[in-house]
Amino acid sequence: MLASLCLLALAPAIPHAAPGVGADRPFESFAEAARWVQTTNGGVARNRVQPRVISEGPDFWYRIDTGPKTAEFVLVRPGEGARHPAFDHDAVAAAISRRGGEPVTGKTLPFRVIEYPDGPTGPVRFSARGARWEVDGSEVREVDRSDAGDGGAGPQSENVQWLDRPRSDLDVGGRTTVTFVNQTDGPLTLFWLNGRRETSYGQVAAGADRDMGTYAGHVWLVKNAGGTTLAALAGTDAPGRAIIAGPDPRFSDAGAEDSDDAPRAAEGPRQTTIILRRGNVVHRPSDRPLTDADGESVPEGYERISYRGPLLVSPDGRTVLVTRVTVAPVRKIRIAPASEADRTVEPFRISYPKPGDLRDLVQPVFFDTDSGERVDVPTDQFADPYSLNRWRWSADGSEVYFLHNPRGHRELQILAAHRETGAVRVVVEERPDSFVDYSQKTEFRWLSPEEANESDGPETFLWASERSGWNHLYRIEAGSGDVLNAVTSGDWVVRGVEKIEDGRVWFVAGGIVPGQDPYYKHLCRVNLDGTDLVVLTSDDREPGDGTHEWTFSDDGRYLFDRFSRVDLPPVTILRDAETGALICELERADPAARLATGWRPPERFVAKGRDCETDIYGTVIFPPGFDPDTADPGSLPIIENIYAGPHGAFVAKSWGTSRHARELAALGFAVVRCDGMGTNWRSKAFHDVAWRNVGDSGFPDRVLFIQALAEKYPALDTNRVGIYGGSAGGQSAMRALLSHNDFYKAAAADCGCHDNRIDKMWWNEAWMGKVGPHYDDSSNIRDAPLMEGELLLTLGGSDRNVDPACTYDTADALRAAGKNFTLKVYPEGGHGSGERDEARELRANFFRDALMKP
C-alpha cells in the first residue's frame, strides 16, 4: 500500500516499442546483445554545434552533420534572431560535380571549412577538388586553382602561422580547424608537436586535402614520405588553410628551441633571507640554521619532524610563514594479484592510508627575515587536522589565513594566525550536526577589488555553506568574520562557481527551475549582494527542461546553451548572455537512425521516498521491443544498477547510450537506477542520511521506487529482483542480500569496499567520520552470516583504489558462515574490472541463472 500512496511518474518522451525495426525482442546470448548494443551507439544527427565567428562577430557559421555522411553549413545572425543556409548548397554541388570526379550533392559537399572574406553579407569561399571557389547567391565560380602555387607553402594559404623552426605550442586559444592541402606528388604525414614529442595524426594523400581539428597555437609538423619536415605551422583562432607544395623556405629544422625564442620562466616569488633546506629552516646569506628538526622530540607513533612549505612571504617582506610538520608513518599494503602458485603478476606494495591511521600534524611558524626569530602558532584550534591549506597573507600583512579541515570532517574553518603573537582566531566555520561535505562543496574564493567591484572595501571572500539546509554562497568579511550577505538562497543548491566579474557571480545550480528534475544543471548569475538573480539557461519561451552545458561567444554577448535528458536528444539554442533570453534555436538532434535499430531511451520515473514526501528520481530501461503496458503481469525480472556514494548523484540526466545497462536489458531484464537518500546534491537533510551510515545505501527509498514502478507496470516482477554495482556500489550490492534479502534475490558486487575500515582513508572518513563502533553497522564482513540469495563477487587483483583485502576478507567471512557464493578474480585487473567484456558476460549469465531459470 505504501507504494501506491507514494507514486509519481513521468510520461516517456518516446513510445515504448518500435515493432518491425531493428531488435524487436530480447536476445538469446550476451554476445548477441553486446553486438546489438554496440550498433546503437551512434545514429544521432544534428548533435553538436561548433560555432566559427566571422571577422569580429557577432555573426557566425557552423557545419552540422545531418545524417550518415551528410552535412550542411549554417549562417547565424544573432541580430536578426535567425539562422539561414550559409549558401546555396545545391548550386555549389552542381558546380563541383561539373569540374569532374565523383558527383556530389548539396548534402555531401567535399569540404568542411568556409570563409566570409567580406563579412556575412558577402560571398562565401571554400576549397574543393584542388581549387578555390566562391559562391555569391546562386552563382558559383572558381577563383583560383591550387596547382598554381610556386612551391613550398602556397600563396593562397590563410589563417595559419608559419614557423621557422620546431617549437612548443604557442599561446593556446580555442578550438579551430586547419585544412592541409597536399600539392606534392606524394603523401604527407601530419604530426602534432607536443613539447618535444611528435604525435602522428595520419596522412594526406597526394592531391588531397584534409581538415584537422586543433586549437589555436597548437604546432604542427608536415613531413614527406622520407621523413623530411617540409613545414611547421600553428593554427589561429580563424579556420586556416595550409597549402604544401614543397619545402617551406622559411623553415629550418633546427631541432631545438634557442634561448631567444624559448619561453622564459615567470619571475619568482618575493626574495627572502629565509629558505628551507633538507627539512630545516635556514637564514641566508650566512647559512645559519634556525631549526634543528633532528633534535626535536617526536611524539610516540610518529616518525620525525620536518619543516616544509609554503614559504609564504609577507607583503612587507619582513616575515615568512613555514610549517613544522610532525610526520606520520604511511601505511603500505601488499597487492598480490595472483596466488603464490600463479605468479603471472608479481606482488607489489603501495602507500594506502586507512581510516584511523595517523595524519601529519601541521603547525604554522613565523620567522623574521632579519633576525631569524620565530613565533610558533599554538595548535589548540587545530590539534588533529586532516589538512591545513589555502594559505594567504592578509592585505596588511598582520595575519595569515588558512583552511582547517579536521579529522572526522564535522567542521570546516577559515582560521587566521597573527604574525606577532601567533594568536589564532576563527574567521568563519561550519559545524553541522553531521558532516561537512568538504570534498564536493568547499567553495572558498578571495574576491579581488575587480571581482567585487569595490576599489577600497575590506577584504572579502566567497564561501559555500549548508547552514540554511541547502548549499549556498555567502560573502564574508575577512577582518571581522561577519557574513555580509547571502549571495544565493532558496530550496535549491549551488553546484559550483563558474566565474566572478564586476561584482557578479556565474554559478551552476540544481533544482532552481520549478517543476524540473532537481538534478538538472542550469547556469545562473547573481550580484554579489544577492540581488538580480537570473537563470541564464531557462526563460518563458524555452524553459530548457533538461540538464545543460554551455559556452560563451568570444565577445561574451551570447550563450550557446545545449541541453538534453535521457529521453530528449540534445537541443542547442542561442541565448542572450546578459538576460538568458532565447534568440533562436540552432539545432535539435535527430535520433532517427538510432531509433531504427530498436533502441529506446530510458524512461524517467519519480516515486516518493521513505518519508512519503521526498521525491526519488530514477530511470528504467526496458528490453528492446518490450511494451510494459501490454506484457503479461510478472513477466519481466528486474535488475537494479546501484551506486550510492555520498559524494555524488548517479542517475544519468543527459542523453547517452547506457551501454552496459542496456546489455542486460537486451537479455530480457528491466534495468532500474535511482538516487536514494544519502546521495548528494539535494538538501542537507537528504544527504545526512549517509552520516555514519553508508550501509543504508538508500535502500528504504530504492525498494519503494521499484515497487511504485511495478505498480505502474505490472509486467515487472518484484519477486525477481537483482542488483549490481562496483566499488561503493559493490558494497551496496552485497548489503542488499544482508539487510534487504526479502526483496533482492541476487547480487553482483565488483571491487566492493565491504568494510569501511579496510578501504582508503579519505573517502570513508568523509562520511563515516572517525573510526568507532558505527563502522561495524555498515560492515558486510561482520554481517556476512546474514547473507541470503545468490552472490557473485568479482575483483581486479591489482586494484590500487579499493584494497583487494576488502573482497578477500569478505569471501573468508562468507565461507566461515557456510554461505555459497561465486568469486572471480582478474589478477592483472585494476579497479572496476567487473566492467570488462568477459566480466560483464559473467555477470549477465549469473543473473540469467539466478532470476530467469525455473
Q: For residue range 522-542, what is the model confidence (pLDDT) as tens digits?
A: 999 999 999 999 999 999 999
> What's the rounded mean pLDDT across residues 747-768?
98
Give the DSSP letter string of 209-254: EEEEEEETT-EEEEE-TTS-EEEEEEE-SS-EEEEESS--TT----
- pLDDT recorded at residue 14: 61
Q: How far apart are CA 207 and CA 534, in angstroms?
A: 53
pLDDT in tens, 303-320: 999 999 999 999 999 999
Determine phi and psi for 527, rounding to 5 degrees: -70, 155
Of 524, 530, 511, nearest to 559 (Cα)? Answer: 524
Predicted local distance difference test score (pLDDT) of residue 785: 98
Give the DSSP letter of residue 603: E
Predicted local confidence at residue 681, as pLDDT: 98
Instruction: Look at residue 258 in the predicted model and tell me its pLDDT.
Output: 34
pLDDT(466) > 70: yes
Given a contact cutoff of 8 angstroms between Cβ atoms, the answer to whether 147 and 183 are in contact is yes
Q: Per-residue confidence at 16, pLDDT binned at 50, 70, 90?
A: low
**Cα-flanking dihedrals φ and ψ of residue 53, to 5°?**
-70, 140
Give the least confident one: 254-263, 364-373, 593-602.
254-263
Residue 147: what pLDDT?
Answer: 43
Among the listed ranges 194-198, 295-299, 555-559, which one has the minimum average pLDDT value? 194-198
Q: Which three cell numbers stand for residue 85?
A: 543556409
For residue 145, pLDDT over 80 is answered with no
Query: Which of the 8 DSSP states describes residue 266?
Result: P
Phi-psi region of 422 (alpha: psi -120 to 50; beta: other; left: phi over 0): left
Mean pLDDT value across residues 371-381:
97
Q: How far apart are CA 370 and CA 273, in angstroms?
A: 7
Report pLDDT for 688. 98
The residue with greater pLDDT, 24 or 724, is: 724
Tell me the pLDDT of the chain averaged across its residues: 91
- What percent of the chain stands above pLDDT 90? 78
Contacts with 194 (C-beta within 8 Å, 6 or more apart), sequence order: 169
Cα–Cα distance for residue pair 38/22, rounded to 1 Å: 13
- pTM, two decimals, is 0.86
Higher model confidence: residue 255 or residue 668? 668
**Banded pLDDT at 445 (limits 50, 70, 90):** very high
Sign of CA dihedral 485, 490, 496, 499: negative
- One-letter amino acid for residue 94 of the chain: A
Question: Residue 64 has what pLDDT?
Answer: 96
In this prediction, residue 249 carries a pLDDT of: 82
Per-residue 3-state assignment (H helix, E strand, C coil) for 438-460: HHHHCCEEEECHHHHCCCCCCCE
* Whole-number pLDDT of residue 158: 76
All three cell numbers of 706, joined, read 521499484
Can you give the pLDDT at residue 3? Answer: 38
Domains of the chain, CATH where assigned: 149-244 (2.60.40.780), 269-329+360-431 (2.130.10.120), 595-851 (3.40.50.1820)
CA distance 505 to 527: 6
What cell does 332 get? 603500505
The residue whose grid cell reads 576599489 is 455
**719 burial type by CB count under 10 A (0-12 exposed, 13-18 middle, 19+ buried):** exposed
Nearest-angstrom CA–CA distance, 672 and 543: 28
Which of 27-36, 172-181, 433-442, 835-844 has the weakest average pLDDT?
Answer: 172-181
DSSP 8-class letter at 97: H
Residue 540 cell numbers, joined = 518563458
- Strands 746-750 vs 716-726: parallel, antiparallel or unpaired: parallel
pLDDT given at position 165:
82
Residue 623 has pLDDT above 60, yes or no: yes
Could you give the CA distance from residue 45 to residue 66 in angstroms, rounded to a whole number?
5
How confident is the model at residue 640, as a pLDDT? 98
Question: For residue 769, what is its C-alpha cell?
Answer: 567520520
Asked if the model's pLDDT at residue 485 lies above 70, the reply is yes
Give the dihedral of Cα atoms 639, 644, 648, 654; nearest 10 deg: 10
Burial code (b: 16+ CB inside 10 Å, e: under 16) for 810-835 equals bbebbeeeebebeebbbbebbbbbbb
Average pLDDT over residues 325-337: 94
Report the chain's terminal Cα–Cα distance, integer Å. 29
pLDDT tens track for 561-583? 999 999 999 999 999 999 999 99
Query: Cα-Cα-Cα-Cα dihedral of 580, 585, 590, 591, to 10°?
Result: 10
pLDDT at 176: 83
- Select from 835, 830, 826 the least CA-distant residue to 660: 835
Where does the pLDDT of residue 148 fall: very low under 50, low under 70, confident under 90, or very high at 90 and above? Answer: very low
Q: In sequence order, what are the residues at sequence separation of 6 or more whose Cβ sits closer than 8 angstroms to the Cβ of residue 748?
A: 722, 723, 724, 725, 733, 791, 792, 794, 834, 843, 846, 847
d(CA 124, CA 252): 35
Q: Do residues 96 and 104 make contact, with C-beta atoms less than 8 angstroms apart? A: yes
For the segment 823-850, the average pLDDT, to the nearest whole number, is 96
- List the Cα angle 749/752/755 in 5-degree steps: 130
* Residue 13 pLDDT exceeds 90: no
Give the pLDDT band of residue 99 (cuts 50, 70, 90): confident
Edge-to-edge strand ranges of the sheet holding 209-215: 209-215, 175-182, 240-244
Query: Is the pLDDT score of 852 beyond 50?
Result: yes
Close Cβ partners of 667 (under 8 Å, ≥ 6 residues apart): 26, 27, 30, 33, 623, 844, 847, 848
Range of weakest confidence among 306-320, 342-356, 443-457? 342-356
Residue keyed to cell 614529442: 197
- Taking alpha carbons only, the member of 370, 365, 374, 376 closest to residue 284 is 370
